[in-house]
Structure 1
Amino acid sequence: MPHAVVFDTDGVLLDSAVVHAAAWKTAFDAFLAEVREARGTPGPPDADGTRGTEGAPGARGTGEPGTSTAPPPAFPPASPPAPPDLAPFDEDADYRRHVDGKSRFDGAEAFLTARGIRLPPGHPDDPPGHDTVWAVAARKEAAFQDALAAAPLAAFPDAAEALTHLHALRIPCAAVSASRHARELLRATGLTPLLATVVDGVDTARLGLPGKPDPALFLHAAGLLGTGPGDAAVVEDALAGVRAGHRGGFRLVVGVDRTPDGRGAAVLRAEGADRVVPDLMTLVRSVWGEIR
């Protein structure tokens, strides 16, 4: 039985993953629309399923579809690089696959790379825009800040109960996050007093810790709890986080799948989760039991 627990924050303790996903969609879709406009590429289908004619392949020279009067090349041309995928960001599949659990820069870079788009890294101080990876990440940050201003985040109902239960059992707990907002959000939701330590994006930048799926963040948190991975559990909802816990050699790696139909359980197990639970109290009762 593990004697310490390292919890991911977004999507495990705080009901914030959907807000992060929406902010990423705002940033990426604006960027992708700008790329489509610059390339003369049609956007996503309209309500009637059409895409319009801009940028569509058509007649050249003869007026017949797909024909051309250009002479054939003397030698077969080299295959051109595949065009970038400019479809809108999917708040479920793309979020889980590319950005969930990662820092803003790592998430932006991972998604853009997956879509075949290369941008210069830029600088952390770049304003929101589309010219650098940091600029795209800054656009996400602005959208997230707007969402927080419109409606405060809440903790999951089972988060305080699970942390209180573990606190009573003298099981020290840490909360970790790649987000720079985690510490303030945990404080705002009242969870901080139930945690022995918090490691957020500010700490990872200060310490130079690599992001998930590297286990450095979890290992650092376990060290702050006074233990090593062999005597600690990691609780995650992100694929990158589960992978990090597995690579770090933690005694127990738990995936949290809060989807109503449990559709995420199989992929969490495939990434290295020892068990998958629908909520935190199911985990606490099954591993540590009831308070005596």
Structure 2
Amino acid sequence: MPVLRAVLFDLDGVLTPTAEIHMRAWERLFAPYCTAHGLAPYTAADYFASIDGKPRYDGVATFLVSRGVELPRGEASDAPGEGTVCALGNRKDEIVNRMFAEEGIAPYPGSVRFLDDVTRAGAAVAVVSSSRNTPAVLAAAGLADRFAVVVDGNVAAREHIAGKPAPDTYLRAAELLGVPAAEAVVVEDALSGVQAGAAGGFGLVLGVDRGVGAAALHAHGADVVVTDLGDLDATVLDRPRVATDAAAAAPTEGGDA
């Protein structure tokens, strides 16, 4: 039996390239906002520093703070607009859902191979995502039937669970699978996500470098970093964190430590 009995996958940027769509949606939201309000231009670095991996409204608030802007939080029911943090977040949701409909979604082939391999090896699997769009994305990507446990932004709001970088959503997924955190793997591409995995005492934190950088992922808590999950197989389930501390300081499978 493998040492690690469950694999907890982030969605955007790990299973599906929706992170790329989200990045462009945030740019479509904040680039004109910054121009209209005389703020420093929005860049891709802002996405990784302020938004990536966080619940949508928290991402809005963090970015605004980085520009010295304070808006009232508002309510989730606020109409898309600019008057509150929630209104801006709802405008972003409107933008990204239009993009999903227009562009479609396909999972990363390497991630599907890795999912197949760990599932065949007997690992329980779950999706843990800050996104409230998770059910729609999983369905569009043909992955909905692969995960009996999904802890997303909807579940977090309903159960009052703190979002990433707190480990609570990952801990909840492990609980629902009936597996201790120490026997579960967290798979993340966001700095806030690997922080959550490290803070939760999980058996292994796998970082997937989709642009944030291997060094940054390691620095925030990833034990192993790859550029494609297809570079790994089920043998990773026999590599708990205690066995990979040395690997975290060495060049990784992705090639750029």
* TM-score category of the 2 structures, normalised to the smaller one: 0.7 to 0.9
Name the structure 2 match of 1:204.
156
Bigger helix fraction: 2
Q: What is the TM-score normalised by the length of structure 1?
A: 0.77
Distance 1:33 1:187 in 2: 36
Partner of 2:16: 14
Per-residue deviation, 1:280 = 1.2
Q: Which residue of 2 aligns with 1:59?
A: none
Please say which structure displays the higher CA radius of gyration: 1
- What is the distance in 1 between the residues matched to 2:94 and 2:146? 30
Alpha-carbon separation, structure 2, partners of 1:246 and 1:15: 24
Shift of 1:281: 2.5
Q: Report whether the alignment pairs 1:276 with 2:225.
A: yes
- SS of equivalent to 2:50: helix
Q: Is 2:10–2:187's contact at 8 Å kept on the other side of the alignment? A: yes
- Give the AA of the match of 2:232: L
TM norm structure 2: 0.87
Question: Pairwise CA RMSD of aligned residues?
Answer: 1.5
Unpaired segments ≥5 residues, structure 2: 239-257
In structure 2, the partner of 1:178 is: 130
Aligned equivalents of 2:93, 2:10: Cα separation in 1: 20
Q: Which residue of 2 aligns with 1:155?
A: 107
Q: 1:46 — aligned with what?
A: none
TM superposition shift of 1:285: 4.8
Identity %: 44
Instruction: Report the Cα offset of residue 4 of structure 1.
Output: 0.6
Partner secondary structure for residue 31 of structure 2: helix
Cα drift, residue 142 of structure 1: 1.3
Please say if residues 186 and 206 of structure 2, whose CA atoms lie closer than 8 Å, have aligned partners that are also in contact: yes
**Counterpart residue number, 1:168:** 120
How far apart are the structure 2 equivalents of 1:100 and 1:271?
13
From 64, 73, 76, the equivalent of 1:124 is: 76
Which runs of 5 or more residues in structure 1 are unaligned? 37-85
Do the aligned residues in 2 keep the contact of 1:253 with 1:273 (CA within 8 Å)?
yes
**Contact in 1 for aligned 2:6/2:125 (Cα 8 Å):** yes
1:37-116 maps to which residues of 2 (within 5 A)? 86-91=39-44, 93-116=45-68
Query: Does structure 1 conserve the Cα–Cα contact (< 8 Å) formed by 2:110 and 2:231?
Result: no
- Which of residues 205, 226, 236 in structure 2 aligns to 1:287? 236
Letter of the 1:90 counterpart: T
